[in-house]
Structure 1
């Protein structure tokens, strides 16, 4: 049997048509479905729906006296304040009851924090939590987001994120920013091409967040208040490791800060954008290391199709007939460029004859 407390609390939408019907009831003193049909040229179903919404919102009530001649039922208008007291007040009371239950549950569970901490110390896992199921991970992130006080650091490798995930993230992030929480987010350059990501970044930066990009990222990470870090689980694709050990969290924050300092502010990527060159240089470097297309695409956060397009263009530019030859030529080019970069510049000093004073 379903728990009534699990039933979602919803209200019908009061449309412009519904407002006009309510105004008609006020003007006439009462109304019937037949009157609604005639006044607004609606069929019986549409008129019944319009009246039903007003009844659900308690803005109409049936006339107590039944119609002796069996004519259409009469409805009387109800003042909005009275309707709110009858329709909204019980819902508010139910919400207060649910909130009180949630607070009692939180208080009961918080008693076990010391028990959990003691068990962690005995097992040698103090400062680390392993979570293997996605719902618990999402609940934890939601709680950390809600309780975050000062700063959140986020690195999101892997290219563009799904639009529905971005929409969920925006609502969560906006609530944090409005509480005064600073937000720094790192993406890969390839996310600059993604229209939903562009829209998300525009909205979240307008609210006060900062977003930057790099060609490659060190991995996915969330850090809250520089006290708690959430990392991907090594084995479970849906799991996470939660790190609270201060020295390790500080180290992870330093890794993030170094990447942040060398990253570029997010702007939509154009065909001539300089970061496109960074991406192509990264493809050359990884090709020279002998990586397959799939691995390069995953490493740079791009689709396999885009990666193969870049590789084909580079093979053509290098004059290579195979990936092996392209890798060799790319490695040669990189070695030459590195030699030029470190070679000492020729001296521009003018030789002086012996004995010539400086």
Structure 2
């Protein structure tokens, strides 16, 4: 793999982890008879290239070989193009070479079946690495806390830090869990767009409208999925997402955390509590909305909803009733 830019030790480390996923640096050092410093450097570079994923206790899991080779080829080609960019005539060869490619092979690459939670998550992480503009997702699960801790939070943080637009629809019953509800509100505060629906189809993820991960078949096990890259199939997945998105409610419009029957509990969410506290402290809606980082319209909508839930006929009355209920 030296032609792809890996040193002999880096290739040896990657191949060893393919045979022994989940190994740590010390074990690799002993098996390859390499120094601790050299192994650490190799692991750092492979991780930086996205060829390894660090698991628990500083152990490492390799990326899929197909993804690894494609990524190395992409990086290598980028460097070569920069070196020979002045040779513009060579670009005309690309079209002729692509015409010689096997159409059947291209069709095979446009769809990939994956099975098992681990493989599905690996594919999502691989696609996340190249995502630059937008991630769309439908997540019908109602018990998401563990998934958020182990898988979702790192990806969401990476996307938002890169300025990727994140749009997600979740099931309203997922908000029963306070950790999950607080996490989605935290995402919304960071710029993600989160909506809530009482019914969702199969799980769906779309990346830059160039690739999608969908259920293998309607009603199929969550352990089976298909990664599609063919433009027509990706467009269909995006159209489904937009249809669900249009009919879903904004997270900020959902009244508090819901119980297992989908009924709002008689207590405010963290966002609503902050609105109540700000309403009692600030006289003007514009100032209150600015303090909370939301629009005046959203701020007033929250207040109207709280007055309705409290049965108050004025904001002063609402503040009094909220204190009596120990909401603030």
TM-score normalised according to structure 1 size: 0.45
Larger Rg: 1
TM-score normalised according to structure 2 size: 0.49
